[in-house]
Structure 1
Amino acid sequence: MIIFTIVISMHVNAAKEVTGTHMFGFAASFNDSTIYITEIQYVDSAYIGKSNFLFSRENYSYQLQNYLRSIGAVTPTCITTFAKDQKRIEKKYLSMRKKYEKSGKYTIKYITATNFRYQGIMPQASDLEQEKAAKRKAKEAKKAAKIAKKQAKRKQKLAEKGIIETNHPAAAKDTKQ
């Protein structure tokens, strides 16, 4: 019984565990041809949820956006790309970099880690509960859609057999005999 309790508590703590991840930022503006790319950074206090998605990713992008505005970029649109594995993030980084270097249409400004560094964002317990609630809600919606699809198929079969008419108001109701 004690071992079971320890295993359960370890599982609960693992769901809230903060792990490091590699990330880089990219920013572009629709007003000019300048793009910004940060160096790949390792953020040791990042939280990646059970769905392997970086918690509060939009706030990491806002960190980059605020930095760029502080150095004079007027309307940067920022994204943050992440990966747990160093090789995967390097592959994403090189792909993004080559895409813009190859065209020659853009002025690329590289941002070093000494000039800009991502700050880790820790989820609160309420954030984790919201994540669980959203998953529950999505699961319930999927189940409801599956039931509705089954009912529609059943009505179609009944209509094909002539048991109910499809243009009659009763066809819209579920009839059980």
Structure 2
Amino acid sequence: MKYVKILFAIALVFTMCSAFSMKKDLPKPVYAFGLSASFTDSVVYFTDIQILDSVTVSKEGFLPHRELYSYQLKNFLEENQIQQNSTCMIYFSENRKKLEKEATKILSKYKKSNRVTVSRIDSDKFCFTKPEE
């Protein structure tokens, strides 16, 4: 009877451990927005906050191929003759509220200046796409 209790306890512990390890971590969505500024232009362009398709943040907290997302925005602005020679940045987070707060903070700094005009790029005109690997 003693061995049955020990065996049952071991089986119970094994079952509990395996049940928790089977829990799959679903990938969190990654949100991003882009910002474009130029030293020769008084207009700052920014995109809406968008969900990046099929992207996960690395263990170190970096967005893979983040420079390619910046180039997407830069190429869009140059191809459509909106802004030439711009510096484009991408801001990303797995938490939408945190990213909205960051966007508000950054855009309010630009809006304080009377010399800079802030212009929004609609999602129907520009949307980030996953870069080909």
Q: TM bucket by the smaller chain?
A: 0.7 to 0.9
Greater relative contact order structure (CA < 8 Å, 6+ sep): 2
Query: How far apart, in 2, do the equivalents of 1:71 and 1:107 lie?
Result: 19
For normalisation by structure 1, the TM-score amounts to 0.58
The reply on whether 1:58 has 2:67 as its aligned counterpart is yes
**Alignment equivalent of 1:43, drawn from 48, 52, 67:** 52
- Structure-2 residue corresponding to 1:99: 109
Q: Alpha carbons of 1:18 and 1:57: their partners in 2 closer, same or farther (altered >3 Å)?
A: farther
Structure 1 or 2: larger helix share?
1
The one-character-per-residue Cα deviations of 1:48-86 (angstroms, maximum 9, x if unpaired) are: 111111111100000000100012121111000001001
Hey, what's the Cα distance between the residues in 2 that align with 1:19 and 1:88?
Answer: 14
Structure index of larger Rg: 1
User: Where does structure 1 lack aligned partners over 5 or more consecutive residues?
Assistant: 125-177
Query: Could you tell me which of 118, 128, 145 is aligned with 2:128?
Result: 118
Aligned-residue sequence identity (percent) comes to 35
Preserved contact between residue 24 and residue 38 of structure 1 (Cα < 8 Å): yes
Q: Is the 8 A contact 1:67 1:116 kept in 2?
A: yes
Given that 2:34 and 2:88 are in contact with CA atoms closer than 8 Å, whether structure 1 keeps it comes out as yes
Instruction: Work out which of the residue numbers 38, 62, 79 in structure 2 matches 1:29.
Output: 38
Please give the alpha-carbon distance, in whole angstroms, between the structure 1 residues aligned to 2:86 and 2:29: 26
CA contact (8 A) 1:47 1:121 kept: no
CA distances 1:65-123 after superposition (whole Å, capped 9, x unpaired): 0100012121111000001001100001100110111112112211011010001246x
CA distance in 1, matches of 2:40, 2:110: 16
**TM-score of the pair, normalised by structure 2:** 0.76
Q: CA RMSD in A?
A: 2.5
Give the counterpart of 2:77 among 68, 72, 84: 68
Tell me how far apart the structure 2 counterparts of residues 91 and 120 of structure 1 sit (CA, whole Å): 24
Verify: 1:80 aligned to 2:90, yes or no. yes
